Amino acid sequence: MNNYAVYVGVDISKHSFTTTLLFEEIRKTFNVSSKPEEFENKFRPHLNEIGVDKSNVLILMESTGNYHLHLAEYLAERQYNVGLVNPFSMKRFMDAKMSRAKTDKVDSYFIAEYGRQIFEGPLFRPKTEAQKQIEAKVKILEDFYKELTRVKNQREALSLRPMKGLKKNLAYYDRVIEFLKEQIKELEKEIRRLCKEHFPEEYRLLKSMPGIGDRAIAVVVSILRNFKGFKRAKEIASFVGICPSPVESGSSVKGKGSIKKRGNAYVRQVFYMCALSAVRCNRYCKDLYERLLGKGKSKTEALVAVAHKLLRQCYGVLKSRTPFKVVEKEITP
């Protein structure tokens, strides 16, 4: 349980911030437009009225899309204590409290109550400008790859039609495909440059790992913030959504476990693709993959386990500040 004097829950929407303040037995709610300056102008008088300094206040909001970022960064830069709550955790909390109503006012109250009763996560810290630039370009790159696949599939579908002038029509797709390939190549080059320029040590350390490429490095330094804020590798695996979730109860229920896809889908995808390479060039990953296949696991299950291992290896390399190296096994005579 936290030891702040005031807990503030903010329900974020595109056009407004609905806010509930909890202080001892006092509960106040107000609504402002979605402008951080207006929020602070409305919020400060309430703090002055109850005589509490902002260092003794916890402001919580759900991490939904991008709408919360402007307010979170604005407040963090002004030394407010800001925390982000997973929307899934918030839903479970409200269900446990048997909340029947679903309004912005009710949501803001439960967010504040969640902060008072449960929240123990790290406080929000804005990303550096370099991290923002890399993350933005990584997401654009993902969109371009998806678009390239979509256009290629449409071209393939058109190529099967019996019609005159087919070659001329296919040329429209060909020009788009060529343009996307050029943009992808340019983006990958720019992402690599930014990583090397702003995170040279992290780039060197992560590049020493077999199976880890430039896109995975960009994900680690930007989206995962070089693992800052994570105390253990298990926390990272849980954040990404690549940790195993067993299904067992007593002696009668022994279901088939799986990963719960509640984390960052793109990070999960990137490390899964890295796993395809790592099972060929990373000895530890190859040994794990072959051992799991030998136990009857499917290739997909084994690759997910390898992706999990790669994530932990990245954490270990950055935590120890030591390049990855393979320790040769001792052969006993």
Tens of pLDDT, residue by residue over 30-86, are: 999 999 999 999 999 999 999 999 999 999 999 877 889 999 999 999 999 999 998
Domain formed by 6-117, architecture:
2-Layer Sandwich (3.30)
Q: What gap in Å lies between CA 277 and CA 191, rounded to an integer?
A: 21
Mean of the pLDDT values across residues 180-209? Answer: 96
Q: Residue 223 — pLDDT band, cuts 50, 70, 90?
A: very high
Question: How far is Cα 333 from Cα 314, in angstroms, rounded to an integer?
Answer: 34
Cα angle 117-42-17, degrees, rounded to a multiple of 5? 60
Task: Give the pLDDT confidence score for residue 180 in this predicted structure.
Answer: 97
Q: For position 157, what pLDDT does the model report?
A: 96
Number of neighbours of residue 61 by Cβ within 10 angstroms: 27
Task: State the Cα–Cα distance between residues 183 and 254, nearest whole angstrom.
Answer: 49
Tell me the backbone φ, ψ of residue 61, rounded to 5 degrees. -150, 155
Is residue 20 within 8 Å of residue 29, measured between CB atoms? yes
- pTM across the whole model: 0.84
Q: Are strands 6-12 and 57-62 parallel, antiparallel or unpaired?
A: parallel
Closest CA to 126 of 199, 74, 73, 198: 73
The two tokens of residue 24 are 């001892």
Angle between helix 200-207 and helix 166-198 axes, rounded to 10 deg: 110
**Is residue 150 a contact partner of residue 143, using CB atoms and an 8 Å limit?**
no
Burial 230-246 (b: 16+ CB within 10 A, else e): beebebbbbbbbbbeee
On the question of pLDDT at 254 being above 60, the answer is no
Average pLDDT over residues 212-238: 90
Q: The tokens of 131 are what? A: 């991290």
Q: Which two tokens stand for residue 71?
A: 């307010």
At residue 331, does pLDDT exceed 50?
Answer: no
The domain locations on the chain are 6-117, 129-198, 225-320
pLDDT the model gives residue 202 = 96
More confident of the two residues 252 and 307: 307
Distance CA 322, CA 333 (A): 31
The yes-or-no verdict on residue 251 having pLDDT over 80 is: no
Give me 22's structure tokens: 């909890």
Structural contact between residues 18 and 104, judged by C-beta atoms closer than 8 angstroms = yes
pLDDT at 98: 84
